[in-house]
Structure 1
Amino acid sequence: MDLPSTAERVPKSTSEPVNERIRRETADRLRYYGAHPEEIDARLTELDEEWDVERTLEANAASLILLSLAAGATVDRRVLAVPAVVAAFLLQHALQGWCPPIPVLRRLGVRTQREIDAERRALTALRDDA
């Protein structure tokens, strides 16, 4: 099995139109901040707080697992199947960079850490030129 590198897993398993939209939105922001360099520091602070796709996926999966375990223990044991499915999705994501929530998160504009860091580097370069 040929596994993609960690840095390339998510973009490789994301549709090209979604990847392109994310790149275009980043380029649009860079053009904006190039014209408004006084706002770059605030944007860099926003980037420090932006959740990447991995963190978003992990937080959502953990929440779903905990809620399902509580419901399985108190409401109906059949709900205990949900944590098993979520765990399978997480394993699939770890190996392939894809699982059912990833296309949804990417369409919502959730970026990889590499994409966030690229914007940070570009903004820092713009600020240093200003």
Structure 2
Amino acid sequence: MKKWVSSTTERVPQHTCEKINKRIRACTVCRIHLLQDGSKEELTNRIQELDEEWDTERVLEANAGMLITTASLAGYMKRKCPCFLFTGVVGYCLLQHAVQGWCPSIPFLRRAGIRTAKEIQDEKTVMKLMRGDFMQGIGDPDEMLRMAEM
């Protein structure tokens, strides 16, 4: 049974069709296999690509911002335009996404292969592991956190 308020890291996958979640994971595993014997340079390049990849939250926020701005401008240009209703719907969708991890655009984003921040971070961690970043055995917590943030 799905909870009404989901955990932050799992809320989008919990509200995504299992078939799509599996496809996204399979694509990630495929990319990892392709770089399994890659050089440090290739792994570093992939890590940099992952740093620039937009996650579901960023895409959703950008789309909502664009829609709200467009509706606000339309409302300003036309005096009797009910554009405030549109901004209200967008706001409600953002609130629903914040609480539940679902809104009407999430299925489309997920079908397009847009991953969550955790899914991107998981691949990034595997790339760092393959690159050898975690083999130093450093005991200092501050240094370990700095390595995790690389």
* TM-score, normalising length: structure 1: 0.94
* Residue matched to 1:93: 97
- 2:145 corresponds in structure 1 to none
Q: Which of the residues 46, 50, 74 maps onto 1:47?
A: 50
Cα drift, residue 22 of structure 1? 0.5
Tell me: higher relative CO, structure 1 or 2? Use CA pairs within 8 A at least 6 residues apart.
Answer: 1
Q: What is the CA–CA distance in structure 1 between the aligned matches of 2:128 and 2:36, rounded to whole Å? A: 11
Structure 1 residue 110: deviation in Å?
0.6
Hey, what's the Cα distance between the residues in 2 that align with 1:2 and 1:45? 35
Counterpart-to-counterpart distance in 1, 2:84 and 2:77: 11
Structure 1 segment 24-63 matched on structure 2, within 5 A: 24-37=26-39, 38-63=41-66
* Structure 1 residue aligned with 2:22: 20
Structure 2 alignment gaps of length 5 or more: 134-150
Q: Within 2, Cα distance between the matches of 1:69 and 1:2?
A: 31
Distance 1:45 1:95 in 2: 31
Larger radius of gyration: 2
- Kindly state the Cα deviation for residue 127 of structure 1 after the two structures are TM-superposed: 1.0
CA RMSD in angstroms comes to 1.4
**1: CA distance between counterparts of 2:98 and 2:91?**
11
- Structure 1 partner of 2:147: none
Distance between the aligned counterparts of 1:77 and 1:65, measured in 2? Answer: 14
Runs of 4+ deviating beyond 6 Å: none
Percent identity (aligned) = 47
Work out the CA distance in 2 between the residues paired with 1:12 and 1:98: 9
Q: Report which of the two has the higher share of helix.
A: 1
Tell me if 1:83 matches 2:87.
Answer: yes
Q: TM-score, normalised by structure 2?
A: 0.82
